[in-house]
Amino acid sequence: MIHKNGNLDRIEAQLRALFEEKLLWVLTGNKPKETLINDLMDALTHNIMVGESDHTIAPDHFRLTVSPEDLPDWQAFQYILDDMAGTIHSTAQIEGLDFRRSPTIELESSPSILHNDYSIEAFISPEDQNLPDTSAMEPEKPNTSNPSLPDGAMLIVGGSIIYPLHMSVINIGRHSENDLVLDDLHVSRHHAQLRAINRKFIIFDVGSTGGVFINGKKVNQATLQNGDVILLGVTNLIYVQETTSDYQTTILPIEGEFETTGDDHSGDFSG
């Protein structure tokens, strides 16, 4: 354990410069918005290990535990946590800290955590064990199926482009780092996220400027049904999936009279 110094202060300053405004969209409830970075830095600071010749090793695994009811909301912002972990990695290395693995921030839930609260723990991964020459690691078998994914799910983008939904988490927006990139100036850089849970896709608004509309109704999150029409910016996406039920949702026609908020539909939620 070491105390905070100028190097760690610079890491904290970088996190605040890049993420403090974005975190206003993430945290609600009991803790002030700025405390997540404080708590993350405290966890890092109090778990740094000093070795020989003052060689410092920083924790590379952060566990963020939330209540079960809050977990889906936090999962919608996992991409921000991943970006924070990447910033910790790059900035801390510049400041002379080493890691045994690339840092990650993992979400977990526990019934012991109150609604709108969280806890953070930090760990240093164990050192790699050198295997003897005669040892052979059995290759990991690829997971060819994901039990959480619905069968045959896809989006029809703009009435013509088919986008198969083969991943359990799909980020949608105007920025090139998204999985599904929409060339629409009315779409925010990080606009929406699809997450597969129990063989259904749930769509989350991740702080967009223009909002997410399902069949003409503005939503923060919604479980998608076969035939739902999603409006992001001025781009229509139709959700399609295989169904074993006798009842199927009818694809709604686009009337062009969707509910609007009157907000400026350009730009990113972070400003």
3-class state of residue 94 by DSSP: helix
| Cβ partners under 8 Å of residue 145, min gap 6 | none
pLDDT band at 123 (very low <50, low <70, confident <90, very high): very high
E-only strand ranges, 124-184: 154-157, 161-164, 169-173, 180-181
Which residue has better confidence, 269 or 55? 55
| Euclidean distance between CA atoms 4 and 233, whole angstroms | 44
Where would I find the H helices in 110-176?
none
Lowest-pLDDT choice from 183-187, 237-241, 252-256? 252-256
Q: So what's the pLDDT on residue 33?
A: 53
**What is this structure's pTM?**
0.49
Residue 184 has, within 13 A of its CA and on its CB side, a CA count of 22
What's the pLDDT tens digit per position in 32-66?
Answer: 555 888 899 999 999 998 766 667 889 999 999 98
pLDDT band at 14 (very low <50, low <70, confident <90, very high): confident
Q: What is the dihedral of CA 173, 177, 180, 181, to 10 degrees?
A: 60
| Euclidean distance between CA atoms 170 and 265, whole angstroms | 22
Between the alpha carbon of residue 65 and those of residues 76, 113, 263, the distances in Å are 15, 7, 34
What's the pLDDT tens digit per position in 158-216?
Answer: 888 899 999 989 999 999 889 999 999 999 999 999 988 888 899 998 888 899 999 99
3-class state of residue 20 by DSSP: helix
